[in-house]
Structure 1
Amino acid sequence: MPAECRVIDYSDQYPLRATVLGQAASPKPGDDAPDTLHVGVYIDGQLVSIASVYHEPPPDSTDAGAWRLRGMATLPDAQGKGYGRLALSRCIDHVRASAGTRIWCNARAGAVDFYRALGFSAHANAQDVPGHGIRYYCERPV
């Protein structure tokens, strides 16, 4: 059965977020904003990958065209099969349709190559984000 990428409610992503990212099953700021998009990729009815985009500039910026990618996660046994790419592509399409100019994220060290392969540039200076570990700022134009 082919992968199905569809819009989901923000609460639908909590179990996968907790499993893959170790994040608590609780709302993030902006989860329920009208322009926020949450997508899920399903295989045989099982949610295997998620991604969300928020109309939010990066720290120390006022760029109204910037959108934040957050909560990107794919189940370990589903990684490397294009499901994360599918979810991210849907988010990029949403940002583009919303007149966004760029998308950014704070990527885990192990995910930087994934983002680079999809056109993101990664800044060399890493940050230690309390409760989340080392993160790299990545961005790409849409």
Structure 2
Amino acid sequence: MDCIYFVNMETSKSSIKEITATTAFKVRHPVLREGKPIDSCQFTGDDFPTTFHLGYYIHDELVGVVTLMKNSYKELDHKNAYQLRGMAVLTNFQKRGIGDALVKKAEEMILARGGTFIWMNAREIAVRFYEKLGYTKHDVPFTIPKIGLHFVMIKTL
């Protein structure tokens, strides 16, 4: 894809681009599904026309990804909702604002597409990250087998 969005990062040249699902696997797999088969990081809906994927590049190296799927949350009535999935930043690049930049760019793009609401199933270790970006917990936590404790998090855009 040829959409490129430049972001400020003091120490290096970086950009956020729309990418394919297959490209997203390059970061999604080692971060979210390490030790599992590559097909374990493929999501139903990855190739839907309403789904988009963003990649964060530093000097042409893909270091972070996020996927956004047009998908309503069953318990809340939002017709223009998107689900955030597969948020991942390579370990050596975490804690540098890359995840923040990806989420903020995703929110901008959702708004541009007429979206008004975003939700996700966040891993327990990611809850504080999303809370700092204005997301709130909704409902009770749940466990995804072989992955761990998750919380539904929501935000109206």
Q: How many Å separate the matches in 2 of 1:59 and 1:90? A: 25
C-alpha root-mean-square deviation of aligned residues, in Å? 1.6
SS in 2 for 1:38: strand
Displaced runs of 4 or more, over 2 A: 23-27, 59-63
Q: Which amino acid in the other structure matches residue 135 of structure 1?
A: H
Give yes or no for the alignment of 1:48 onto 2:48: no
Other-structure match for 2:22: 11
Secondary structure (helix, strand or coil) at the match of 2:26 reads: helix
Structure 1 window deviating more from structure 2 (119-128 vs 30-39): it is: 119-128
- Greater shift in the superposed pair: 61-70 or 104-113: 61-70
Which of the pair has the greater relative contact order for Cα pairs under 8 Å at 6+ separation? 1
Does the aligned pair in 1 maintain the 2:64–2:90 contact within 8 Å?
A: yes
Count of matched residue pairs: 142
Cα shift at 1:18: 1.3
Q: How high is the TM-score relative to the length of structure 1?
A: 0.92
SS at 1:57 equivalent: coil
Give ranges in structure 2 of 5+ residues lacking alignment: 1-11
Q: TM (normalized to structure 2)?
A: 0.84
Q: Name the amino acid aligned to 1:25.
A: I
| Contact 1:5/1:39 (<8 A) preserved | yes
Instruction: Name which of structure 1's ranges 93-102 and 56-65 shifts more when overlaid on structure 2.
Output: 56-65
Q: Contact (CA 8 Å) 1:21, 1:73: kept in 2 or not?
A: yes
Partner of 2:99: 84
